[in-house]
Amino acid sequence: MNKQTFQYLIGGILALVIAMSIGRFAYTVILPYMQDTFAFSRATAGFLATSNYLGYLVGALIAGRLQIGDKRIPFLQIALVISILTTAMMGSTNAIIAWYALRFISGVMSAFIFVAAASLVLDQLAGNGKAHLSGLFYSGVGTGIALSAIIVSPIHAMFDWNGTWIALAVFSAVLFVFIVLLIKPVTQQTQEKSSKTVAPQRVPPTTWMKWLILAYSLEGLGYIVTGTFIVSIAEESTSFHGDAAIVWFVVGIAAIPSCIVWSKLAQRYGYVRTLFISMLFQGFGIVLPAFATNTMTLYASAFIFGATFMGITTVATTLARQIVPVNSHQILGYLTAGYALGQMLGPSLAGTLANYTNSYQNALFGATAVVVVGALCLISGLKYEKVKVGELRSIT
């Protein structure tokens, strides 16, 4: 791996920490503290999450249409700055209406950052014969989640919920400096090398993309129920003893190596097949707390969720880029838009249902069913992978 590819990889990981681990998922671990302070309902908690995911949907749709080719780096940097500012401003107001606006803007920026960073890093890796390292890039989300789970509780103890948001913004600002230093315009040598990228092999045709987008959209709808409420579920459990943020730490720890593991499995056994299995496995993890909210089921659910949700993203986006290798930021934008639509609806539906039934049980059953249906949508793509294992290696 040359120096520039390594720098892009590290810079991309840090960008995901800011956009996804903090911009999107910090809300999950701070949510119980905000509910304790303001006593708002599960439904309101779900609507706040939905506001963020609506922004993510809008951002993904816009990113898929923008012609940002040679402007991806400044586009990424501007989005990172705005994302950091929205994180800081979450701690500067007590007005719920302002939180809705800030979570929406944060969602837009998260989508911009994800699409731009993924496009930059995946193109750089593929152009240098390192496409199989995409799992390292996506591991940034798990790293950030684990880190936020560790630092949020002690920060909250010192500065309360609002100081926690501001502290995370300061931390993000430090990471931003490193991103600017690491992700710089591609050199001519790298560009020439990128032009020699090997064409995709043994993947479904472009016409099959609709099934991948549908499956990934349903994944977004189902996974986000656990992604939003698992800490709150642990917080409300009578059998759970200790800091509920530990559950979120388990998610992060499981997520760190998951992208690499699922990426390796996809190279060996096929991307569609691996995606199908990982979604079924995730469905099993989501439903566990619906049967019992004891320490064992919560930790098991958190581990399975962490071990799959970013792995699914890794495999799905890499597969999409293989099917449509030209203008990768556009296809990633459309794929992300479907995912964002699902995760926009999930928290509101689950929060409202939980509020009505005074339990998360039915919401978890529904989320599991949605993810399983999403997995079934992939079955038609399995026939394209009925080849020798050796032919299912990475396209580069």
SS3 track for 49-106: HHHHHHHHHHHHHHHHHCCCHHHHHHHHHHHHHHHHHHHHHHCCCCCHHHHHHHHHHH
Give domain status of residue 396, yes or no.
Answer: no
> CA-based diameter of the chain, in Å?
60
pLDDT value of position 79: 96
Question: Total structural domains in the chain?
Answer: 1
Give domain status of residue 118, yes or no.
Answer: yes
pLDDT tens sequence across 141-196: 888 888 877 888 888 889 899 999 999 999 999 999 999 999 998 765 544 444 44
pLDDT tens sequence across 294-320: 889 999 999 999 999 999 998 998 898
**DSSP conformational letter for 19:** I
Give domain status of residue 196, yes or no.
Answer: no
Give domain status of residue 259, yes or no.
Answer: yes
Distance CA 51, CA 30 (A): 16
Give domain status of residue 197, yes or no.
Answer: no
Q: Any idea which of 151-165, 191-205, 215-229, 260-274 has the lowest mean pLDDT?
A: 191-205
Across residues 187-214, what is the average pLDDT?
Answer: 66
pLDDT value of position 81: 98
pLDDT value of position 242: 62
Distance CA 133, CA 65 (A): 27
Give domain status of residue 195, yes or no.
Answer: no
CATH number at 223 reads 1.20.1250.20
For residue 168, the enclosing domain spans 3-184+202-389
pTM of the model: 0.79
Give domain status of residue 189, yes or no.
Answer: no
Give domain status of residue 192, yes or no.
Answer: no
| 68, pLDDT greater than 90 | no
